[in-house]
Amino acid sequence: MKDIYTQARRKSHATLAFKLTNGRGSFVFMMFFSDNDRESKDKLYIFLVRTSVLIEVKLYGKHLDGQFEAYFKEQDKKLIRKELGLVSSFNPFSFERLLSELNSQIPQSYSFINVAETLRQHKDILKDTKLKNIIDEASKIYLIGPKQLPEDKKPRENTLRKLSLYVQADLRLIEKFINILKKHNCTLAWTADPERQRHDILAMMRNIDTDL
């Protein structure tokens, strides 16, 4: 995962998500590694789509050097076998071969659009208790608008991630909005009240960046 991980870090997008398939199994791989993602920073989350199970795997090694050493528990392996439809212990199966096959499918180029689309399609995953800190104030999913931060603060990825998940707008526009927010050191205000929701992202962007 070195290439897409490094590209995500370079672009200051501290989120990875991509979907791979193998046989009957479908796997969504996710990493969250901003400064605010203390609990998830060195963890790989794998959502087993067909069986609707999320597993959490501890990662070791220097990730920027391409070291992603993962150790799977026996229970994780059993759940993955079930995802693949290998319910009988008599089925010939090599876990190492599976990992090698999945590893060869990992995208080598980072795309905000692809990551955001993957999370949008499977956003219910984020309700799992293992991912409870991935987004701030999970009950507040309706956008109010930008908010200027003081110089000693920076926008949190845990807040900005909500744009991709809960705002129904073109993801290219969402990406541009996030870049503008970061450029002008702004965060976003959210509410649990749908009546207070604002929809005009372009107007919000122009209020922040008068060059648009």
Write out the DSSP string of 135-194. Answer: SSSTT--EEEEEEEPPTT----HHHHHHHHHH--S-HHHHHHHHHHHHHTTEEEEEES-G
- Over residues 131-144, the mean pLDDT reads 92
What does pTM read for this prediction? 0.91
Write the pLDDT tens digit of every residue in 162-189: 999 999 999 999 999 999 999 999 999 9
Quick one: pLDDT at residue 50? 96
Q: Name the pLDDT band for 37 (thresholds 50, 70, 90).
A: confident
Q: Which DSSP letter does residue 129 get?
A: G
* 88 pLDDT tier (thresholds 50, 70, 90): low
**Average pLDDT for 33-48:** 89
pLDDT at 210 over 90: no
Placement of tokens 């926008």 in the chain: 155
Instruction: Look at residue 190 and tell me whether its pLDDT is greater than 70.
Output: yes
* Residue-level pLDDT at 12: 85
Residue whose pair of structure tokens reads 């908010």 in the numeric block: 147
Please determine, for residue 86, whether its predicted confidence score (pLDDT) is greater than 90: no
